[in-house]
Amino acid sequence: MTKLTTMPNIGKEMESKLESVGIESAEQLIGIGAKEAFLRLKTKYPQVCLVHLYTLEGAIQNVDFNRLSEATKADLKVFSDGLKNK
């Protein structure tokens, strides 16, 4: 199991939050995916926002979240916005 903090964008605070929702390794985060991880975080930590979702996807893609493609950002924004309407 690879520590979450070895992934880009994942610091100690995000690692702690992810662990609190049952995601304890880089492999688990990759397997679950950014959207599912974000849903788990949003349930426990309602203040998480779109930037957190970008952070998770960037970690999975092994890039800084600022380097995500515009198409990926647009897809994640639609997903995040959809949660606000529920």
H helix runs in the chain, sequence order: 12-20, 26-32, 34-44, 50-61, 70-84
Q: Would the pLDDT of 85 be above 70?
A: no
Name the pLDDT band for 84 (thresholds 50, 70, 90): confident
> How many angstroms separate the CA atoms of 29 and 37, rounded?
7
Q: What is the pLDDT of residue 86?
A: 58
Name the pLDDT band for 14 (thresholds 50, 70, 90): very high
The 10s digit of each residue's pLDDT in 22-64 is 999 999 999 999 999 999 999 999 999 999 999 999 999 999 9
What average pLDDT does the structure give for the chain?
96
